[in-house]
Amino acid sequence: MAVVGVDFGNLGSRIAVAQNRGIDTITNEVNNRTTPTLVQFNDQSRSIGESALSQYTRNVRNTIGQLKVLLGRKFADPVVQHEMKWVPFQMVEIENGNLGICVTFQGEERIMAPEIILGMLFGQLARTAQGFLKTGIGYSVVSCPPYYTDYQRRALVTAYRIGGFNPLRVVNEVSAAAYGFGMYQKDLPDSHDQKVAFVDLGESCLKCSIVSFTKAGMKVLSSTYDPTLGGREFDRTLATHFAVEIQKKYKIDVMSNKRALVRLLASCEKTKKILSANPQAPLHCPCIMEDIDVSLMINRSDFEEIAAPLFAKIKGPFEAAIEAAGVTVSDIAAVEQIGGAVRIPKVQALIKEVFGQDPGRRLNSEECIAKGCAMQCAVLSPKFQVKKDWKVRDVNPNGITIHYTQKNVDGTNGDVEVSEIFSFNNVVPSSKMMTFKNGEEIEITADYSDGAKLPEGLGSRIGTFKVEKVKFPQGGKILDAHVKVKVKLDDNSLFLVESATLEEEVEVEEEKKVAKKVEEKKDEKKEEKKEEEKKEEEKKDSEDAEMKDAEEKKDEAPKVDAAPSVEEVEKVLVKKTRRTPLKIVSDINAPMTEKQILDALEQEGKMVAHDQLIIDTAEARNTLESYVYDIRPKVRGELAEYYKEEEATKFVSELDAMEEWLYEEEGENASKSTYVAKYTELKKKGDFAINLQYEATHRAECIKSVEGNVAHFTNWAKSTDEKYAHISEEDRTKVLNKCAEIQAWLSLQVAAQESKKKFEMPALKINDLRNKQDELYKFANPVMSKAKPPPPKEEKKDVPKADEAPKAEEAKAE
């Protein structure tokens, strides 16, 4: 299973994969590294990415874009109201004030949430990755803008799951780029940190982060943004300017026509790119409206004047990032740029004006975010061995305040307490522990601290969390009782109440084994006996006095008899802490419930299957149509001699009828199985003549090959070559007989074939010739390759020894 990183962009999205050879950006079905963030709904199926872009102007009202901006917003959001002026599709208010997008799909009017539509795009990216990798996707990391609130991040995760991904983490875009940047730097300092500013001006947002790097890791010092400023705002400014010029020159109002507006915006984007490298640029927009071709010119100086309000807003996030990081411009070692709109010359000049240096180009501004996500996913995955000890500390650009209330044990409501639990630029991840002592019910409400700092229209509420009713004991042996609640800002910058625990300090009676002495009762008979023994000792002779004195001195040491004891079980009081987990009921402000997500997953699976069926059906139809156009001229041309005249005429008529059927309503809307069945039927008739042609073309060559093999093995069997002298005559005869058998069969079949006409089934087939050739080879080759037996070993003759030779001669003489 592979690990991937996804750069979710407003105009286009990218996907990178971590492999053994490094991080690669995947190309889509048309070999582009960027897939348009567009989803189009048609009468029968959906078009996603490249296919949606290619048909955009033909179906603008059902082509959905700007998903990064619209995700997680309410219909009443001022940003949504502003977007309605520019987007070609219709948006409406749905349940809970959420945003719904109207589309016509499969002949029905439908309203879909942005999360559902974005899930379709992610599904296409997942299929692209699986097609490239030839395997499934294990884990993945996706990027998002730093201004995304808890609600928007949950919406992104929801869409990500609907698309079939397993989201391991959601990271801020600039942080992902900085991560990839730092991992490849070999000269990072040990003793001090190196501060780098990252400027990202993409399609929909301006972002700036100050990041501190050391060999041990990276720390984001600050992250600022302006979600109202992006490359598309420059396109729209140009479109507004040119709309006035077109009205004057061509007397048409392009702003009143959605299709014309889409064409104008696409042309303005091209003009903006040309102005980045040239002092002036043309605007060409063929057939923009009412068959009118528009052609205008603009200078760079005019463009900068028109867009002056936008350029005036650029320095703000830069200066705010420097201030929030607590550094000066001189502390920043380098500035790196990301995004397409950052190439505008005026933007470059403003970056230099604020930071005092030109922005660097060490990052691939188009792919660095996707690669950074893939790199972070590889670090988190156990499958890869990379710099896992390189620490990353990101920040949450919005503070979080909690309001909590307690119902006292007497039934009264406690005061509402307010506390900023996570401050502005708080490190991510982070946890805090809260202690509640005098309450039965605990309710915690989490909000963003300063709603004014949030993008316009985004709510500040995160969610409400209730801890189950706590039964605080009254009296007894409970010394103390309180509830500890752990809140967390996780790796995805999502707020959650992780746990709640009732902790009680109690005195508990426990049984403990204690050893006790046992007192012995005096025995009177034993005492009397001891007295008598004592009197007898006193009456001993004086001659034993010295010995007796010594013994008495020895006995003067006190004798300690081990007192007998027994173990008894005794109950004692012990202080202990008892911990009981409490249930938390979370009411998180999320776009979809778990059940709705599962339903959406099921629906997405059905739509994917339907889309694939439509694609397969179209391919089957194209295959049938191509075959008709390919085989028909051949039937009257190169294949004519392999058909009877009446069969050829009939076949051509069938092909003509098939062509007409394909363009009739029935043929246009037929099923995949119908196309496949008709293609199979026609191909069977066409293949008959094609096979006859092949047989006739290659038969002579195959006959020659068989005759050559027969001659080869015949000559070998008659060979007198010394290296084959070990082959017996019996074996040679067998090979000669086999050759004669094959030759006889061949002569008979060739004679039979000569009497056949070209359109008749052949008597001698190429496959039969090849089988006979293999048969002869398998029979004769083992005989021919038989190894020569080793020569016989020479017997050793006994040679008489030198000293025995004369004796033998002497014996002979005698």
575 is written with which tokens? 């202080």
With 80 as the cut, is the pLDDT of residue 526 above it?
Answer: no
- Contact of 143 with 176, CB cutoff 8 Å: yes
DSSP 684-751: HHHHHHHHHHHHHHHHHHHHHHHHHHHHHHHHHHT---GGGTTS-HHHHHHHHHHHHHHHHHHHHHHH
Element (H, E) at 279: none
CATH 1.20.1270.10 fits 593-786, yes or no: yes
Cα 513 to Cα 508, 509, 566, 572, 692, distances in angstroms = 16, 13, 10, 10, 104
How far, in Å, CA of 70 to CA of 83, rounded? 9
Q: Which residue has the higher pLDDT, 614 or 510?
A: 614
Give, as one character, the DSSP assignment of residue 71.
T
- Contact of 263 with 278, CB cutoff 8 Å: no
- The torsion region of residue 269 among left (phi > 0), alpha (psi -120 to 50) and beta comes to alpha
Instruction: List, in order, residues 6 or more apart from 368 with CB less than 8 Å away.
Output: 176, 177, 180, 181, 338
Mean pLDDT, the chain, whole residue set: 87
CA dihedral 792, 795, 796, 799 (to 10 degrees): -140
- Going by C-alpha positions, the residue among 201, 197, 91 that lies closest to residue 145 is 201
Of the candidate ranges 113-117, 195-199, 539-543, the one whose mean pLDDT is the lowest: 539-543
Average pLDDT of span 766-770: 94
Average pLDDT of span 533-537: 56
- Contact of 147 with 493, CB cutoff 8 Å: no
How far, in Å, CA of 493 to CA of 176, rounded? 14
Give, as one character, the DSSP assignment of residue 74.
B
Element (H, E) at 569: strand 565-581
- Going by C-alpha positions, the residue among 117, 215, 126, 216 that lies closest to residue 165 is 126
Of the candidate ranges 150-164, 414-428, 544-558, the one whose mean pLDDT is the lowest: 544-558
How far, in Å, CA of 793 to CA of 328, rounded? 98
812 band by pLDDT with thresholds 50, 70 and 90: very low
Q: Which amino acid is at 687?
A: D
Segment 334-348, tens digit of pLDDT: 999 999 999 999 999
Burial zone of 331 (CB within 10 Å; 0-12 exposed, 13-18 middle, 19+ buried): middle
Segment 52-84, tens digit of pLDDT: 999 999 999 999 999 999 999 999 999 999 999
| pLDDT at residue number 472 | 63
Tokens 């719904």 appear where?
A: 100
Segment 314-323, tens digit of pLDDT: 999 999 999 9
With 80 as the cut, is the pLDDT of residue 509 above it?
Answer: no
- Contact of 414 with 444, CB cutoff 8 Å: no
Q: Which amino acid is at 123?
A: G
Q: What angle do CA 43, 45, 51 make, to 5 degrees?
A: 110
How far, in Å, CA of 773 to CA of 706, rounded? 6
* Fold topology of 398-510+578-588: Substrate Binding Domain Of DNAk; Chain A, domain 1 (2.60.34)
With 90 as the cut, is the pLDDT of residue 89 above it?
Answer: yes
Reported as half-sphere exposure (CB side, CA atoms, 13 A), residue 608 has a value of 19
Element (H, E) at 453: none
Check if 231-311 and 593-786 are the same fold. no
Q: Which amino acid is at 471?
A: K
Burial zone of 311 (CB within 10 Å; 0-12 exposed, 13-18 middle, 19+ buried): middle
Segment 274-303, tens digit of pLDDT: 999 999 999 999 999 999 999 999 999 999
810 band by pLDDT with thresholds 50, 70 and 90: very low
| pLDDT at residue number 237 | 97
813 band by pLDDT with thresholds 50, 70 and 90: very low
Q: Which residues pair with 426 in a beta bridge?
A: 396
* Fold topology of 231-311: Actin; Chain A, domain 4 (3.90.640)
Instruction: List, in order, residues 6 or more apart from 454 with CB less than 8 Å away.
Output: 147, 149, 398, 448, 460
Pairing label, strands 167-172, 137-144 = parallel
Average pLDDT of span 755-775: 92
Q: Which residue has the higher pLDDT, 619 or 461?
A: 619
Element (H, E) at 293: strand 292-299
Give, as one character, the DSSP assignment of residue 102.
E
| pLDDT at residue number 138 | 84
Average pLDDT of span 509-538: 58
| pLDDT at residue number 103 | 96
- Going by C-alpha positions, the residue among 346, 222, 225, 202 that lies closest to residue 275 is 346
Strand positions, DSSP E, 408-491? 417-422, 426-428, 430-436, 441-448, 461-467, 478-489
Tokens 């999320």 appear where?
A: 590
Question: Hey, how many other C-beta atoms are within 10 angstroms of the C-beta on 477?
Answer: 13
Cα 763 to Cα 26, 295, 754, distances in angstroms = 55, 72, 9
127 band by pLDDT with thresholds 50, 70 and 90: very high
350 is written with which tokens? 């403003």
Strand positions, DSSP E, 127-279? 137-144, 167-172, 194-201, 206-214, 217-226
Average pLDDT of span 524-530: 53
| pLDDT at residue number 814 | 41
Average pLDDT of span 92-97: 90
With 70 as the cut, is the pLDDT of residue 521 above it?
Answer: no
CA 237 to chain centre: 37
Segment 446-503, tens digit of pLDDT: 999 887 677 666 778 899 999 887 776 654 577 778 889 999 999 899 999 999 998 8
How far, in Å, CA of 157 to CA of 370, rounded? 17
With 70 as the cut, is the pLDDT of residue 48 above it?
Answer: yes
Average pLDDT of span 417-421: 83
CA 400 to chain centre: 30
Q: Is the dihedral of CA 301, 302, 304, 305 positive or negative?
A: positive
Helical segments of 134-190, H only? 150-162, 173-183
432 band by pLDDT with thresholds 50, 70 and 90: very high
| pLDDT at residue number 338 | 95
* Fold topology of 2-229+313-392: Nucleotidyltransferase; domain 5 (3.30.420)
Tokens 């305040």 appear where?
A: 401
DSSP 471-511: ----STTEEEEEEEEEEEE-TTS-EEEEEEEEEEEEEEEEE
Average pLDDT of span 695-700: 92
| pLDDT at residue number 802 | 52
| pLDDT at residue number 523 | 52
For the chain, the domains span 2-229+313-392, 231-311, 398-510+578-588, 593-786
Q: Which residues of 247-267 are buried (b: 16+ CB within 10 A; e: fewer)?
A: eeebebebbebbbbbbbbbeb
How far, in Å, CA of 579 to CA of 214, rounded? 42
How far, in Å, CA of 488 to CA of 430, rounded? 6
For the chain, the first-to-last Cα distance in angstroms comes to: 102
Average pLDDT of span 738-767: 92
> Does the N-terminal peptide bond of residue 429 adopt cis geometry, omega within 30 degrees of 0?
yes
Length of the chain: 814
Burial zone of 94 (CB within 10 Å; 0-12 exposed, 13-18 middle, 19+ buried): middle
Burial zone of 739 (CB within 10 Å; 0-12 exposed, 13-18 middle, 19+ buried): buried
With 80 as the cut, is the pLDDT of residue 23 above it?
Answer: yes
Q: Which residue has the higher pLDDT, 451 or 763?
A: 763
Average pLDDT of span 509-532: 59
